[in-house]
Amino acid sequence: MTRTLGVFRGYRVHARALRLLAGVALLCFASRSVAAETPRAATPSTIAAPDSPVATASAPTGVVPPTDTTPRAPPEARTSDADTSEPPPAPPATPPDGVPGTTNATAAPSVTQAPDNSIEEQGTLKYALDGIEVRGNGKTRSRVVLRYVPFRPGDIFDVDDPRVELTRYRLLGTGFFRDVQLSLRKGRLRGHVVLIVEVVERNTLVVNDLWMGLAATASTVGTALPLTPYAGLDAAETNLAGTGMTLGAAAGIAHDQYALRLRFFDPSLFLGKEWMTSGTLLFNHANDFFGNHDVGFVNPLEKQLDNSVAVVQYERFGGTVGVGRDLSVTTQFWANYRLERINAHVPLSANDLRGNGSQAEREPIDFYIQRDKSVLSTLSATVQHDTRDKPILATRGWFASVTTEVSLSPLGSDYAYARIDAMASKWWTLPWEHVLRLRLFGGAISGRAPSFERYFVGDLSDFRAARVLGLNVERRLAPNFFHTDVGEVRYGDYAAKFDAEYRIPLYRGTRAVYGIDVFARAGVYFIAGQKDITQPPRGYSGAGLIPVDFTANFGLQMDTSAGGFTFAFANLLGFIPGLGNGQ
Amino acid sequence: MSTRRSPRRAALAQRFVAFACFFCCLLAPHAALADEPPTPRTASFEWDDAKRELYVSLSFREVVDDEIKRKLSRGLPATIVFTGTLYRRGVKAPISTTAQTCKITWHVWDEAYRLEVTRPDGSRTRWTTTLEGVLRRCAEVSRLLVATSKEVAAGVSVYLRGRVDVNPLSAEVLEKIKLWVNRPARTGTAAPGDALFSTFTGLFMQRVGAAERTLELLTFEMLPIVGGAPKNEI
């Protein structure tokens, strides 16, 4: 049983949560200690061609000594501007025996011998690559840098190969480095070179997400609270101890609820270069709200009857492990296994009025979660296709994903269900530079998924607060603009949403703020439980039996050096009395 | 009834004002920098003796800063591309366009720069051992054909708008970089649909421009002289 150690600003702190946090701190400390104790060469590290004498004859640091015996002044220091249409005379050369390109140079008539023993073919210069040297990586391990370099010692290195420039951008794109420069220096023989990858490292502790908002929630005994704030933060170290691995943590807090996450991602450590691995640990101390109208329930904690909403208080502890791989540059596949232990305090009995007006009937509430301890065990697979030109303020391209999840008793699960979600978004830039996006989402659950896995009206309506790290902070029902039976639905087994977003660029910059757009979004969504379809609530007829509602939002979207921000106002509009059934 | 605001509301209002001021300060300098017109510079416009071809000469050496200078001797090719558009006084429509590209490759073993210069009148390959030679060939245009008598009459004042790109990326390469960086193999997200999209990756993509350095040029308006220098100055 979970012990309550104390109360901090009204939030109960549990022993398990403290243990989890202590574990995170210990892991971080350990990784830093390992990094600090591991002797790291201050000198550059090199990989060399296997058949090259460099590997054995070079200095202990592995640096290849240049063999040019004719030192010259650096080009910046030279004053004589001796332009010529012919190359300058070559310095004394080592015999070119064994230079991979030399044979080709003499065999092909279209190939000309460059002044050194490198190969020059139709203006393209090629060398034999003796090794790759990584410089400037005080923290990041050389193997992490070399993972992104598509060249290997022994290759013929074409200076015009587009992969050279792409390698630079790809290293920059990891976020580990502030600057990356590639250069060549002389190798062991004439016509041989060493590729130097010089990096300047940067801080890799990043904030991935930040949530702040207002919601109408309820206390654990079901007393309605008119306005409560919630917040969350997701941060990560993306280059843990220089290994290229990501360790992230996230926390969310709301009234009498909190959530903790610890995540791990490794691009290729365990399963080789082709596979990625990830893991997540989670702990949620959360509430879910049930009941639509005139709710009555007996709270197991307070042993009293209330009539606002029925509250289920529960804890989730567990995690996921996953493997993924890139199917192409734009398509990625992931498979995950999840195991969670759930401990729920379910009301002893609860009921509410279901239906419209005088035809409403009092029915028991189904909480979709097992009382006391239960286990959730699932397998899921996701395929994601992303051709957006940029993740924030995208102007064209597709983003689509399909996820399937199965929870079965043979996997040790107390919940038997299957779920499939599909989502597709498409962006267009209009001739007048405005941006249009259409988005379609659809999902279905078969079986009895726990309440926190079911579709939630707050996740679909912009006028209600969405769940944050699995915390439900919203007790209100849908605004119900169309006066349908969506006003009877809080959680559903089927959901769909279609919306269109129109963006007008206000500002484009290159420094701290990259772009600001004003946006307006509108759409419709559908949410229904199995019971809403098989036994629809009474008092509705015709189109009123289709649980659909309108959603809209407007505000500003910003792309900045600190990340993407959205300032939207629909959540506030949701508190205006008379807007739907907003309270 | 008291009209004084509660301390809590006052504090909220103060925070809102502070945030608004911070936001404006963040935007103001960048908004000012957004569309700054280039300062006009001196150029030389010259007709050939027969007044059939108009040439322009100008320098843009400042585009090769210290970092680019260092980069020129790293053994990998660098490209400086100049594109110009000629205008007549008082007419917004351009008369003609011109361009010069210069590919600079430092030969590691020969310790010399190989310059491949391409202009409207042809391509040439040159060698130079000094940086000054590179700048003279690639960070200047000398008697670059910009128009003919069919496009502009002699005796008409003209000016040129130009742009210099150092290491410009082709649209294809730029697209490939963006895709690659957006969803790099064996890097990136913790899980699809996860919030843990690499912030740096996203931010870096915003900085991937079309070139490493870009310089916008504008020349003073002037009446071309009639000269007699040799045409080919590559």
Query: What would the two tokens of residue A339 be?
Result: 């195991």
Q: Does the structure show a pLDDT above 80 at A94?
A: no
> What's the pLDDT score for residue A64?
33
Binary contact (A209, B195; C-beta < 8 A): yes
> What's the pLDDT score for residue B219?
94
Tell which wins on pLDDT, B232 or A497.
Answer: A497
Least confident of A165-174, B123-132, B177-186: B177-186
Contact status of A28 with chain B (Cβ, < 8 Å): no
Contact present, A228 and A255 (Cβ < 8 Å): yes
CB pairs A-B closer than 8 Å: 259
Q: At what angle do helices B199-207 and B171-182 cross, to 10 degrees?
A: 170
Q: What is the mean pLDDT of residues B195-224?
A: 72
> What's the pLDDT score for residue A170?
81
> What's the pLDDT score for residue A438?
97
User: Could you read off the pLDDT of A481-494 as tens digits, one per residue?
Assistant: 998 989 889 999 99
Q: Which residue of A has its CA nearest to B27?
A: A513
Q: Does the structure show a pLDDT above 60 at B156?
A: yes
Q: Which residues of B touch A147 (CB under 8 A)?
A: 186
User: Could you read off the pLDDT of A390-402 as tens digits, one per residue?
Assistant: 777 888 889 999 9
Tell which wins on pLDDT, A389 or A343.
Answer: A343
Tell which wins on pLDDT, A355 or A186.
Answer: A186
User: Could you read off the pLDDT of A260-279 as tens digits, one per residue?
Assistant: 999 988 876 555 567 888 89
pLDDT band per the 50, 70, 90 thresholds, residue A405: very high
> What's the pLDDT score for residue B211?
79
Binary contact (A181, B177; C-beta < 8 A): no
State the number of CA atoms in the 13 A half-sphere of A169 facing the CB: 29
| Min Cα separation B142/chain A (Å) | 15
| Min Cα separation A3/chain B (Å) | 31
Q: Which residues of B touch A320 (CB under 8 A)?
A: 191
> What's the pLDDT score for residue B58?
94
State the number of CA atoms in the 13 A half-sphere of A474 facing the CB: 29
Binary contact (A175, B198; C-beta < 8 A): yes
Q: What is the mean pLDDT of residues A213-217?
A: 80
User: Could you read off the pLDDT of B114-154 as tens digits, one per residue?
Assistant: 999 999 888 999 999 999 999 999 999 999 999 999 998 88
Q: Which residue of A has its CA nearest to B186?
A: A267
For A:354-393, CB contacts with B below 8 A are 382-384, 386-392
Q: Does the structure show a pLDDT above 90 at A460?
A: yes
> What's the pLDDT score for residue A30?
39
Least confident of A100-104, A370-374, A534-538, B14-18: A100-104
Q: Which residues of A touch B198 (CB under 8 A)?
A: 174-175, 206, 238
Tell which wins on pLDDT, A138 or B209.
Answer: A138
Q: Does the structure show a pLDDT above 70 at B15?
A: no
> What's the pLDDT score for residue A46?
60
C-alpha triplet A41, A43, A44: angle, nearest 5°: 105
Least confident of A555-569, B56-70, B82-96, B159-173: A555-569
| C-alpha pair distances (Å), A500 with each of A202, A309, A436, A520 | 39, 33, 7, 8
Q: How many CB atoms lie within 10 A of CB A367?
A: 22
Among B112, B185, B209, the residue with its CB nearest the CB of A87 is B112
State the number of CA atoms in the 13 A half-sphere of A276 facing the CB: 28
| Min Cα separation A235/chain B (Å) | 8
User: Could you read off the pLDDT of B216-228 as tens digits, one per residue?
Assistant: 999 999 999 887 5
Q: Does the structure show a pLDDT above 90 at A32?
A: no
Contact status of A579 with chain B (Cβ, < 8 Å): no
Which of A122, A145, A157, A172 is the best mutation test for B, with the most CBs of B within 10 A? A172
Binary contact (B180, A169; C-beta < 8 A): yes
A565, amino acid identity: F
> What's the pLDDT score for residue A541?
87
User: Could you read off the pLDDT of A37-62 as tens digits, one per residue?
Assistant: 333 333 455 666 544 333 222 332 33
> What's the pLDDT score for residue A203?
77
Tell which wins on pLDDT, A464 or A65.
Answer: A464
pLDDT-above-90 percentage for chain B: 44
Contact present, A451 and A492 (Cβ < 8 Å): no
Least confident of A428-432, B15-19, B35-39, B169-173: B15-19
Binary contact (B180, A329; C-beta < 8 A): yes
- Phi, then psi, of A113 in degrees rounded to 5: -80, 120
> What's the pLDDT score for residue A306?
55
For A:295-334, CB contacts with B below 8 A are 320, 322, 324, 326, 329-330, 332, 334
Q: Which residues pair with A280 in a beta bridge?
A: A263, A320
Which of A76, A147, A200, A201 is the best mutation test for B, with the most CBs of B within 10 A? A76
Q: Which of A265, A267, A240 is nearest to A325 (CA)?
A: A267
Q: What is the mean pLDDT of residues A134-148?
A: 90
Query: What would the two tokens of residue A574 be?
Result: 């949701």
Binary contact (B76, A159; C-beta < 8 A): yes
Q: Is the pTM of this model over 0.80?
A: no
DSSP chain B: ---PPPHHHHHHHHHHHHHHHHHHHHHHHHHHHTTPPPPPB--EEEE-TTS-EEEEEEE-GGGS-HHHHHHHTSSS-EEEEEEEEEEETT--SEEEEEEEEEEEEEETTTTEEEEEEEETTEEEEEEESSHHHHHHHHSEEEEEEEEETTTS-TT--EEEEEEEEESPPPHHHHHHHHHHHHS-TT-S-SSTT-S---HHHHHHHHH--S-SEEEEEEBPPBPPEE----S---
pLDDT-above-70 percentage for chain B: 68
Q: Which residue of B has its CA nearest to A508?
A: B34
> What's the pLDDT score for residue A216?
79
The SS3 assignment for A396 reads coil
DSSP A156-169: EEETT-HHHHHHHH
> What's the pLDDT score for residue A10?
34
Which of A155-164, A403-412, A519-528 shows the highest mean pLDDT? Answer: A519-528
> What's the pLDDT score for residue A80?
54
Among A169, A193, A564, the residue with its CB nearest the CB of B177 is A169
> What's the pLDDT score for residue A219?
73
Among A78, A83, A326, the residue with its CB nearest the CB of B126 is A83
Binary contact (A384, B193; C-beta < 8 A): yes
Q: Which of B53, B158, B193, B78 is nearest to A384 (CA)?
A: B193
C-alpha triplet A344, A348, A349: angle, nearest 5°: 120
Binary contact (A322, B186; C-beta < 8 A): no
Query: What would the two tokens of residue A516 be?
Result: 């600001």
> What's the pLDDT score for residue A70?
44
Least confident of A389-393, B85-89, B178-182: B178-182
Contact status of A272 with chain B (Cβ, < 8 Å): no
